[in-house]
Structure 1
Amino acid sequence: MEWKQELKVEGAETKRFVLVHGGGFGAWCWYKTITLLEKHGFQVDAVDLTGSGVSSFDTNNITSLAQYVKPLLHFFDTLKPTEKVILVGHDFGGACMSYAMEMFPSKISKAVFISAAMLANAQSTLDLFNQQSESNYDLMEQVHLFLYANGKKSPPTAVDFDRSLLKEFFFNQSPPKDIALASVSMRPIPFAPVVEKLHVSEKNYGSIRRFYIKTMEDDYAVPVSLQDTMIKSNPPEQVFQLKGSDHAPFFSRPQSLNRILVEISQIPSKKSS
């Protein structure tokens, strides 16, 4: 039972994780991470963003980042005034959690970006992805299918996936059962939040300790070069490398991901006395 003592020494700040899924995913994608963190004595919450997972909202009707992240903001509203969490985001979940960081800086002790959109102020997720190399952009264009609920003359309302390319693009190192789970569970990504520019301040967002987990080898969705660009333009406190992972380390390298998350939770606070 020694680990329980260790966590107590850390104080209440590090006992609760909140997991934010990426575009197309839902809270379901974290099932291994939830199980492993709970084994370590953490309390874990995974949120379904609007139009994701079990949310019944039509993705095509989401018109802003605020609307998309509403369930996450609602979660923070329900926390006790003194309660803090470690916020973890994957993929487009990085932009979503940055939005929450700007609004609730006092409730977040650490923020962890896993192969996630870690945007600079006034940057959109689309701006970021447009910086990619041509070769990767080709595959990205093939896997994404635009949906036009308001007609072809209007901007796209959502982005779906070519299911036949999911394994190659997202899950090239993941077990077959997880690929099967994803192929029946993934939903379109709302387009408006992807093109919306994020606004964050040094005072709020900038006050939270940020950590980045790089997926090293086979991530075609957010390649290492793009992760490096984000890290360079918006440096976190520390960068961890997750070897042998595809874009979904919660499927392909769950134990390694868990080890890094626990390690981050135990990094002592830098409070000045």
Structure 2
Amino acid sequence: MYPNRPLTFVLIHGSWADSSFWDSIAAELRRMGHIVYAPEYPGHGADPNKAVTHEMISRSVAHFIQSMNLHHIILVGHSFGGSVIQKVAELVPDRIHRLVFLDAFVLLDGQSVADELPDSAREAFQQIRQSSKDDTIMLPFPLFRETFVNLASLEQAQHMYSQISPEPAQPLFEKLNLTKFYSLNIPKSYVYLMEDTALPQGSQMYGWHPHMSNRLGLFRFIQGHGDHMSTAKAEPVRLARQLYEAGRD
């Protein structure tokens, strides 16, 4: 569990989150002896500008990797971050040792993240987007509580909800050209948390595993317990160890 050669992790968060999502997991990975970065990307964290594109987000992560002169990295994407690391892999493939998807979107060429949502959710998001003043989507609390943090107590769910902000809508609805991604030979892993209901489970049309994961072709599979967001805060030691198992040679 504590290898002689430390791994270098770059952790990419998902929607309705910022880089602090990784704080506890990053601290545990560092305690294990690894090098960890969790860059923020446009439209999130302290950035007030919500008029961002998927390309702006992916290019900012690639620029971070280049500016820090990082090589041989384990690039981890959570949720929406899966689509980000797909595009980052196209931009800096020679710097990536392995891609790790943590209950993350794996889009097909020409798809958007919104294409992978159930019709009812996609239509609801469109309505929220259209009624917003800045082309953003704010999750209603009942949806957040029952699908993103379903293992948390009500008090924990309320606290986490108070810390999220509206999500830029455009990157979720952009169709992505992923032809190059599917030509790359970078090793891949998928970490699946079984109680994560942010997407409908047990369906051939939706869900994290096997619906998303099998698109990776040959991949390492790591399975554990957890929901979409609260487990990262409640059980960072276990998740850090699962990310190590997903990232190691």
- Give the structure-1-normalised TM-score: 0.78
The alpha-carbon distance between structure 1 residues 205 and 15, as it changes in their structure 2 partners (threshold 3 A), is: farther
Q: Which residue of 1 aligns with 2:215?
A: 233
- What SS class does the counterpart of residue 239 from structure 1 fall into? strand
Matched, 1:90 2:81: no
| Whole-angstrom distance in 2 between the partners of 1:47 and 1:181 | 23
The alpha-carbon distance between structure 1 residues 234 and 84, as it changes in their structure 2 partners (threshold 3 A), is: closer
Q: CA deviation at 1:258?
A: 1.3
Matched, 1:221 2:198: yes
Q: Match of 2:245, as an amino acid?
A: E
- What SS class does the counterpart of residue 146 from structure 1 fall into? helix
Matched, 1:34 2:15: no
Select the residue among 225, 228, 231 that pairs with 1:247: 228
Select the residue among 45, 49, 60 that pairs with 2:37: 45
Q: Which residue of 1 aligns with 2:106?
A: 118
Q: CA deviation at 1:106?
A: 0.6
What does residue range 56-71 of structure 1 map to in structure 2 within 5 Å?
56-57=48-49, 59=50, 61-62=51-52, 64-71=53-60
| Whole-angstrom distance in 1 between the partners of 2:132 and 2:181 | 39
- What SS class does the counterpart of residue 74 from structure 2 fall into? strand
Q: Which residue of 1 aligns with 2:91?
A: 103
Of all paired residues, the percent bearing the same amino acid is 25
- Contact 1:48/1:55 (CA < 8 Å) preserved in 2? no
Q: CA deviation at 1:71?
A: 2.9
Q: Which residue of 2 aligns with 1:74?
A: 63
- Give the structure-2-normalised TM-score: 0.85
Q: Deviations over 1:96-151 (max 9, x none)?
A: 11111111101111111111001122221111224x7xxxx56x877997133787
The alpha-carbon distance between structure 1 residues 142 and 120, as it changes in their structure 2 partners (threshold 3 A), is: closer
Q: Deviations over 1:183-228 (max 9, x none)?
A: 23212222221121222245776221111111212x2212444222
- What SS class does the counterpart of residue 48 from structure 1 fall into? coil
Select the residue among 7, 14, 19 that pairs with 1:15: 7
Q: Which runs of 5+ in 1 are unaligned?
A: 9-13, 268-273
The number of aligned residues is 243
- Contact 2:221/2:246 (CA < 8 Å) preserved in 1? no
Q: Which runs of 5+ in 2 are unaligned?
A: none
- Contact 1:85/1:107 (CA < 8 Å) preserved in 2? yes
- What SS class does the counterpart of residue 148 from structure 1 fall into? helix
Runs of at least 4 residues of structure 1 off by over 6 A? 140-145
- Contact 2:12/2:76 (CA < 8 Å) preserved in 1? yes
- Contact 1:22/1:90 (CA < 8 Å) preserved in 2? yes
Q: Deviations over 1:222-242 (max 9, x none)?
A: 244422212233334111111
Select the residue among 165, 185, 201 that pairs with 1:207: 185
Q: Which residue of 2 aligns with 1:263?
A: 245
| Whole-angstrom distance in 1 between the partners of 2:183 and 2:92 | 9
Q: Match of 2:30, as an amino acid?
A: E
The alpha-carbon distance between structure 1 residues 203 and 171, as it changes in their structure 2 partners (threshold 3 A), is: closer
Q: Deviations over 1:146-177 (max 9, x none)?
A: 133787xxxx8221111344222211213667
Higher mean C-alpha displacement, 22-31 vs 197-206: 197-206
Q: CA deviation at 1:180?
A: 4.7
